[in-house]
Amino acid sequence: MTHSQIVRFLLLKTIGNFLILFAIFGVCATFGPALYFEVLFHIDQWRGVKYVVVNPQSGDISGFGKLLRSQNTNANLFTFDQNQQVMIPKDTNFDILIPKIGANSIVFANVNTADENAYLPILKKGVAQAAGSALPNENGSIFLFAHSTDSFWDVGLYNAVFYLLKDLQIGDGVTLFYKGKRYDYAVIGSKIVEPSDVSYLTNSRSSPKQLILQTCWPPGTTWKRLLVIAKPK
């Protein structure tokens, strides 16, 4: 090889390595948040880890011994033992906790579902309560949505707290805190609907008391919507 050929080979090899590393970084940035929640959920299931929710204002932590702060920075957790973790809300003014999937997120109220400029910034920080739907202290349907992206490569930009809604089953619990008061719900079912089906939202005020959680289905697409429905306990 001549000197120029060696230089060209090394340059092409360097560029090739850079492109490979850039591709790996892109895949991690894209799928990382979703894979993190998925892997963590299955590890917890395999280990038999259970999450429970307590009201921080009631001091109802008896039976849990000396609580140690968990290293998990994505949720307010305390560790009792290897198989027991206690969840407390991040903000008792409005918060949602789903023990089955270890989800804990602040809820932002009165978000316009028809205005992307209004809800997209919110979904990067937490869960949104649809404007016009009921609040926990009111009659009707509470409609909460999160993880609403136009493409899978945007998943990393948004709070993936609802990514695991697909794993909820009938009887699983959901807890809301609103203005310092706790509201407990039990899942009664789920359904997949068309994006154009907004009946659950438009009829929210006339429906019985219930909680509806919405996310995209399949995750990271605009093809369908997954609705998980829960009733007050």
pLDDT at position 157: 45
How many degrees, rounded to 5, is the angle at CA 121 between CA 119 and CA 127? 65
> What whole-number distance in Å separates Cα of residue 173 and Cα of residue 31?
27
> What whole-number distance in Å separates Cα of residue 108 and Cα of residue 93?
10
pLDDT at position 87: 84
DSSP codes, 48-64? T-EEEE--TTTT--TTS
> What whole-number distance in Å separates Cα of residue 162 and Cα of residue 217?
11
Instruction: Point out the residues of the chain with pLDDT beneath 70.
Output: 1-42, 44-45, 55-82, 84, 147-160, 219-222
- The phi and psi torsions of 151 (rounded to 5 degrees) equal -160, 155
Say how many Å lie between the first and final Cα of the chain, rounded. Answer: 77
pLDDT at position 75: 43
Long-range contacts of 132-136 (CB under 8 A, 24+ apart): 132/201, 132/202, 132/204, 132/205, 133/201, 133/204, 133/205, 133/212, 134/204, 134/205, 134/209, 135/109, 135/178, 136/176, 136/178, 136/181, 136/183
**E strands, 14-123, in order:** 50-53, 68-69, 77-81, 84-87, 94-98, 103-111
pLDDT at position 189: 96
pTM: 0.72
pLDDT at position 65: 36
